[in-house]
Amino acid sequence: MPLDLHKDTDINFDDEFNDTEYDPLEVKPISKKNLVIFFLVDASGSMSGTKIGTVNTVMEETIPELRGVGGATTDIKLAVMTFSTGFEWITKEPISVDDYQYWTRLKANGLTDLGEAFTELSKKLSRKEFLNSPSLSYAPVIFLLTDGYATDDAIGGLEQLKHNNWYKYGLKIAVGAGEKFDKELLEKFTGNPELVFTAKNKKQLAKLVKTIAISSSQIGSKSMTLTSDDEIQEVMPEDVIGTKEKELAENIKNTIKDDDDFVEDFDVEDGWDD
């Protein structure tokens, strides 16, 4: 008789995660899982005005739409950090979208200490810090938004972050606002050029932030399924995240490909004033 297995293959991460000890077919009890979405927002001086204002407006509109996205089985939480001269956690700990009543409007000034932000994020991606839920957890979603180049050692900070297992298997996506941002660095951050997007004007920025927030919530909280006709096949964590990355990239591209705000040839420099 054919063997038909439908098992949850998402990872119950911890700080000492070792994929050689991970059994993707292990039966787990049904419980409400946690998905933390990290927003890393550039709040340097170049973001002041239309850019940071657009982020504030679209997040105020988007948070209510995230409620219920995970259904009865997933508690979606938000963790928001800004980086400029140093960094600041807007949320002192991850907050459930059901309890996130008011978006704190961000202000922009100062430098772009992205390396320091990467180092701090690595500290919080831990069972001892922001991922300390007693229940099972999906790998986190990490969304980076910037409009410029780092003013500190971003590569050094990123190298430290890359040693973090939550980061390795998390969904990472980035948006560059304008044309003067470090695309190469964002591609290194995501590890996938298909998950780096450009916003040439405020309409594109608003659409991308909203689309990414909702799509990443839906896909990040989705369990992978394993089916085999004749034998148990090993499923590694990187296969799970690879599948989710592909689905997220395709989802976003399909959403914006026929949108007039993206197909029109906007002038980049004038796009923030329309």
Distance CA(166)–CA(13), nearest Å, equals: 7
Identify which of 36-50, 229-243, 250-264 has the greatest average pLDDT: 36-50
pLDDT above 60 (res 4): no
> How distant, in Å, are the alpha carbons of 47, 104, 154, 217 from that of 56?
12, 8, 25, 19
pLDDT above 60 (res 42): yes
- Banded pLDDT at 263 (limits 50, 70, 90): confident
- Banded pLDDT at 70 (limits 50, 70, 90): confident
Q: What is the pLDDT of residue 144?
A: 98
> How distant, in Å, are the alpha carbons of 110, 128, 200, 269 from that of 273?
22, 44, 11, 9
Partnered with residue 77 across adjacent β-strands are 36, 96
Please compute the mean of the pLDDT values over residues 50-78 and round it to a whole number.
94
In this structure, are residues 42 and 145 in contact, taking their beta carbons and an 8 Å threshold?
yes
> What domains does the chain contain, in order, with CATH numbers?
34-273 (3.40.50.410)
User: pTM of the full predicted structure?
Assistant: 0.84
In whole angstroms, what separates CA 220 from the centre of its chain? 9
pLDDT above 60 (res 83): yes
- Banded pLDDT at 229 (limits 50, 70, 90): very low
CA atoms within 13 A on the CB side of 181: 26
Q: What is the pLDDT of residue 10?
A: 46
- Banded pLDDT at 1 (limits 50, 70, 90): very low
Q: What is the pLDDT of residue 223?
A: 74
Distance CA(173)–CA(192), nearest Å, equals: 8
Percent of the chain surpassing pLDDT 90: 68
Q: What is the pLDDT of residue 135?
A: 74
Please compute the mean of the pLDDT values over residues 62-79 and round it to a whole number.
92
- Banded pLDDT at 236 (limits 50, 70, 90): low
Q: Tell me the pLDDT tens digit for each residue of 92-141.
A: 999 999 999 899 999 999 999 999 999 999 999 999 999 998 778 899 99
Query: Quick one: CA torsion of 36, 117, 209, 135, rounded to 10 degrees?
Result: 0
Distance CA(76)–CA(133), nearest Å, equals: 12
